[in-house]
Structure 1
Amino acid sequence: MSTTAEPELHYLEYYEEFLAKVRLLACRIVESEWQPEFVIGVGRGGLVPGVYLSHQLQLPMLSIDHSSRVPGFADELLAKVAAMSAAGNRLLFVDDINDSGGTITTIRKLLHGSGCSDGNLRFAVLINNRGSKATVDYWADMIDRAEDKRWFVFPWEAVGRTDAIVDEAQSVPERLA
């Protein structure tokens, strides 16, 4: 049995780092040629930045709780959202970090399976991993997970128990070693 490395927890300061990332992300979206009509927070990590971006951009927000892993729950909501995009609505999905790309890849697959229009779909994250298998359209910070092994602890996660944060980090050992 191998031991998993102890993660280097990196806590983002709420009103300094986090809000600066949200404001930068909002500026990048506003300055782009593509403008969303809805912000969609991806649960759990994208809900808080999604709310902040929806206020910053003055757009309505929807949420998809992908992290709940309740069978069919997120799939049904994603089918509704895909129909919105097919009808011409521009949708901005927001998550906290694009690390491995698993969440974004799964969401894209489910959206495409429900008839989503690619031209009406964009993804934004606070932190983007250059080596992720998924691409995003907007990000505030870029990291290279091959070199940067910090486990980012966002303000809404910081209220959790440290042992739970460490357990979550260690559940994905390839990001730490």
Structure 2
Amino acid sequence: MNKLSWNEFEDCIYSIYTQCKNKHFEGVYGFPRGGLCIAVALSHSLGLPLLGKPKNNCLIVDDIYDSGQTLEQIRHLKGTQTHVWISKKIPTWWNSYKYIEGKEWIVFPWENINAADIDSDLYYQSRA
């Protein structure tokens, strides 16, 4: 199990900010739940509205690219840029702050480490 820190979160936000600060997005969309934390931070940093749904010409973020099931939903949108904090696959059409190999469960700073085993079980059941 890999527990990420708030300092690592801030480093990720700064990295995405520097890559996107000169782009002209209509807003920032973050997938619930983990993507919302990243989207709110970037919305403030970039001075962009937080969007309730993904749309063309926006910045799309999520906490992790694991199976790809979530991000594949928005791949067809035009003018977007997609960033994740952690990618468990080598990024092709999306951007990743950090790439990791293996199936190690990631615990983000906003998550309860005591519930990580339950969260992991629920996630893998939903993907079965």
**TM-score category by the smaller chain?**
0.7 to 0.9
3-state secondary structure, aligned to 1:62: coil
C-alpha separation in 2, matches of 1:172 and 1:150? 17
Equivalent residues in 2 for 1:119-158 (5 A)?
Answer: 120-131=79-90, 135-136=93-94, 138-144=95-101, 148-158=102-112
Q: Give the Cα separation in 2 of the matches to 1:141 and 1:163.
A: 23
Q: In the superposition, relative to structure 1, how do residues 169 and 10 fare at CA in structure 2: closer, same or farther (>3 Å)?
A: farther
- Which runs of 5 or more structure 1 residues have no equivalent in the other structure? 1-8, 65-77
Q: How do 1:93-104 and structure 2 match up within 5 A?
A: 93-104=60-71
Q: Note the alpha carbon deviations across 1:27-78, whole angstroms, 9 max, x for none.
A: 12236xx4322101111221010000111111111134xxxxxxxxxxxxx5
SS in 2 for 1:40: strand
Structure that is richer in helix per residue: 1
Highest CA radius of gyration, 1 or 2?
1
Aligned partner of residue 111 in structure 2, secondary structure? coil
Q: Normalising by structure 2, what TM-score?
A: 0.81
Aligned length: 128
**1:21-170 correspondence to structure 2 within 5 Å:** 21-30=12-21, 34-64=23-53, 81=55, 85=56, 90-108=57-75, 112=76, 116=77, 118=78, 120-131=79-90, 135-136=93-94, 138-144=95-101, 148-158=102-112, 161-168=115-122, 170=124
Query: Counterparts of 2:49 and 2:114 in 1: how far apart (Å)?
Result: 28
Pick closer, same or farther for the CA change 1:166–1:17 going to 2, 3 Å.
same
Which of the pair has the greater relative contact order for Cα pairs under 8 Å at 6+ separation?
1
CA distance in 1, matches of 2:100, 2:52: 26
TM-score by length of 1: 0.61
Determine helix, strand or coil for the equivalent of 2:28. strand
Query: SS of 2:105's equivalent?
Result: strand
C-alpha distance in 2 between matches for 1:35 and 1:126 = 21
2:12 is paired with a residue whose SS is helix
For 1:159 and 1:63, the matched residues in 2 are separated by 28
Identity of aligned residues (%): 33
Identify if the C-alpha distance between structure 1 residues 102 and 170 changes in structure 2 by more than 3 Å, giving closer, same or farther. closer
- What is the match of residue 5 of structure 1? none
Structure 2 gap ranges (5+): none
